[in-house]
Amino acid sequence: MLTATPLSVQIDAQHDDRLRVLIAGAGIAGLTLAALLRRQGLHPVLIERMPQMAHPGYMLALMPMVDAAFDEIGCHDDYVARSTPIATYAARSHRGRLMRSDDFSALLAMHGEYRGIDRGALLEVLTSDGCPVAFGTTIEAVAQMGNTTDVRFATDESPTEASFDLVVVAEGLNSRTRELLDTGEVSRVDTGWGGWVSWVDPAGVTDLGEEVWGDGFFLGAYPVRGRLGVFLGGSNHDTAVGLPEFAERVRAAAPEMGERLRAVLDGVVASPDPYYWALTDVRAERWVTPGAVLLGDAAAGFLPTAGIGAGMAIESAWTLGRMLRDTDRSTLQPVLEEWERVQKPRVESAQDNSRMLARLMFRRGRLIAWMRETITRMLTVRAVLGPIARLVAAQPDPDAAAQRARVPAP
């Protein structure tokens, strides 16, 4: 679990480390990297801007690209126990009629399982061995000084300044620290859509992910352990009427959605505290600057359309952590640059796939809905998610990449 720990205590603990690492952001990517580095005997300093871990949470679908990280951390069994398989995917028309049902387990059978887990449970899995963190702390300034990076913190604690060999910015989509680094252009895609995330009791089959792609709305239900995570959304203009009225519009527009999804819709409306999620993404031009890197959503924040963003964040943390395993201060910068060269194209390829699906899904108009459904009937899920499956099948070799970086060119 996360344990509130003063900055001074964390900084003192890394005094004799071969690499002094600061991780900004106690989200999925930051906690994965912190756990990996602790396994190597390092003591990364971890800070989090929130005064406590109070994120409302949402559902995550993780492909088997995460298995290597969980195996190395030693939490894979706990992950399996806290998650559930997503074996089948069902797509429904704008009227709610079942168009197709696909076997996800067959698609990924050679590589592992596609599993659903809620964010809170995943954070607990990643911190099961304990994890110190300084809450209510952010980075105010960063300066590269020789071979070290000087950081000034915005904090009520002492000290307010410290030096590190590496600063890892894993603060998420709207990272403020990213603006302090020379990461080039930061581009965004704003779909103009958003929606409510909530939890409902499972109804019927518990390993089924189900979606209705409507005319100006989207309803998805995804299994996690013991419940369903639900997203109900539409254009920002349409959702402005509020959840109850928007849900009634969806119910009227998709009368053939079936008993399970009608129950899901009732559960969303009855939810005491649904979380509204604006559907945007972000992509930084550069991930690596002298003495600092962007990680996870701070580097490339995903739309939820391909169910791949969290998995890529975990994989990126794993490849970075693995490449740092035998790295010291003298070889750090070339190793970071090689990590970016290997990992960034993979992440951006997955993000491109997510953006392509968003262009297909987040549209309105009866003709567009009909065309989308025609495409959906023609294409198999293997064809749509084929690029993602190929990424899973061809994970990089971080050990070989680190070795290349540490050996000077002749």
Rounded mean pLDDT of 268-289? 93
Q: Alpha-carbon distance 52 to 264, whole Å?
A: 30
Instruction: Give the model's pLDDT for residue 356.
Output: 81
68-109 tens-digit pLDDT: 999 999 999 999 999 999 888 888 888 898 888 877 766 655
Please state which of the ranges 98-102, 111-115, 194-198, 276-280 shows the lowest mean pLDDT.
111-115
SS3 state at 147: coil
Say if residue 378's pLDDT is above 60.
no
Short-list 45, 98, 355, CA closest to 210: 98
Q: Which H or E element spans position 165? A: none
Say if residue 137's pLDDT is above 80.
yes
Instruction: Give the model's pLDDT for residue 370.
Output: 56
For the chain, count helices (H), then strands (E): 15, 21
Q: What's this model's pTM, rounded to 2 decimal places?
A: 0.92
4-35 tens-digit pLDDT: 999 999 999 999 999 999 999 999 999 999 99
153-211 tens-digit pLDDT: 999 888 899 999 999 999 999 999 999 999 999 999 999 999 999 999 876 667 899 98
pLDDT-derived band at 335, boundaries 50, 70, 90 = very high
Beta bridge partners of 272: none
Q: Which CATH superfamily is domain 2-188+280-406 in?
A: FAD/NAD(P)-binding domain (3.50.50.60)
Domain boundaries, the chain: 2-188+280-406
